[in-house]
Amino acid sequence: MKCFIAAALFLFPSIAQAEYFETGNDLWNLCTDKFPGHDYLCIGLPSAYFDMMLATGYRCATPGVDREQVRDAVLRYISDNPGTRNLPASELALTSLKTAFQCVPPAPPQTTTSTVSTPKSGKPKVKGDPVLLHPNH
């Protein structure tokens, strides 16, 4: 068994793992290779990025955006910025879609300060007692 593991480690010294699934190069090649079926993926991936933007709270000023417009905006950005193609496709899509459709990120959540109430029993607070928090409504 040890020989098998040693042989496996020798034959496969390292297995590279990507930090992300698709790069701009991957998306560019997918959209420009004219392989049957890739046109659906070329529309689907940028559309999925756009859907995720909207699902996470981005708001866009351009109404009625369709899938082809989304694909075209992403491909135009990748075409105009070939030096960035090694970056994650999701990052390039986010940048291009925010610009093309005037999208703004969601507002950060507002933090509220909580107040600690004094015990109703009138007894002094002892270290280790639970802290009672009351929301400010």
3-state SS, residue 101: coil
Rounded to two decimals, the pTM is 0.65
pLDDT of residue 111: 78
Quick: pLDDT tens for 93-118. 999 999 999 999 998 888 776 655 55
Rounded Cα distance between 27 and 87, Å, is: 11
- How many angstroms separate the Cα of 107 from the Cα of each of 21, 110, 137? 27, 8, 21
Tell me the H-state helices in the chain.
Answer: 2-11, 24-32, 38-55, 67-80, 89-100
In the predicted model, is pLDDT for residue 1 greater than 80? no
For the chain, domain boundaries = 18-104
- How many angstroms separate the Cα of 100 from the Cα of each of 73, 97, 109, 118, 134? 6, 5, 26, 54, 44
**The architecture CATH gives domain 18-104:** Orthogonal Bundle (1.10)
Rounded Cα distance between 69 and 101, Å, is: 10
Rounded Cα distance between 90 and 41, Å, is: 14
Q: What is the mean pLDDT of residues 62-82?
A: 95
Residue 88 · residue 63 · CB < 8 Å: no
Q: How confident is the model at residue 8 (pLDDT cuts 50, 70, 90)?
A: very low
Q: What is the mean pLDDT of residues 75-100?
A: 96
Burial 110-125 (b: 16+ CB within 10 A, else e): eeeeeeeeeeeeeeee
Quick: pLDDT tens for 11-45. 444 444 456 789 999 999 999 998 988 999 999 99
